[in-house]
Amino acid sequence: MTQSSYYKHHIFFCLNQRDNGQDACAHHGAQAAFDHCKAQVKAAGLAGSGGVRVNKAGCLDRCAGGPVAVVYPEGVWYTVVDNTDVDEIVENHLKHGQVVTRLLVPANVGR
């Protein structure tokens, strides 16, 4: 028996914050990017079952590329700098299934 996914796409934004002086996604506008994505997904009518779920995440351990977001089920990692980047991810990837290559986190970027 094959089970289908509840959401077509699930995007997680790292909102991790560190108070010990180490860099973290929260220090680079991650919350604003998350909020903007959630609003754009809802405005586009993509939210909910069979569509897109926008979620907060703790540390995703890719801090050097931050702020980062990852889209599943594809496992595509993005660096999100501003609302234009979020808009491009929503329009191209979440709406049409096309990866936004200019925003990809390089494979070797970790913490």
Entry pTM = 0.91
Q: What are phi and psi of 18, to 5 degrees?
A: -115, 135
User: What is the structure's pLDDT at 3?
Assistant: 57
Q: How far apart are CA 55 and CA 37, in angstroms?
A: 10
Sign of CA dihedral 25, 11, 85, 79: positive
User: What is the structure's pLDDT at 106?
Assistant: 86
Locate 50 and state its tokens: 């069979």
State which H helix or E strand residue 10 sits in. strand 9-14
pLDDT per position in the chain (111 positions), as tens?
345 689 999 999 999 988 887 778 888 899 999 999 999 999 999 999 999 999 999 999 888 888 999 999 999 999 998 999 999 999 999 999 999 999 999 888 777
Catalogue all structural domains in the chain, each as residue range(s) with its CATH number. 9-103 (3.40.30.10)
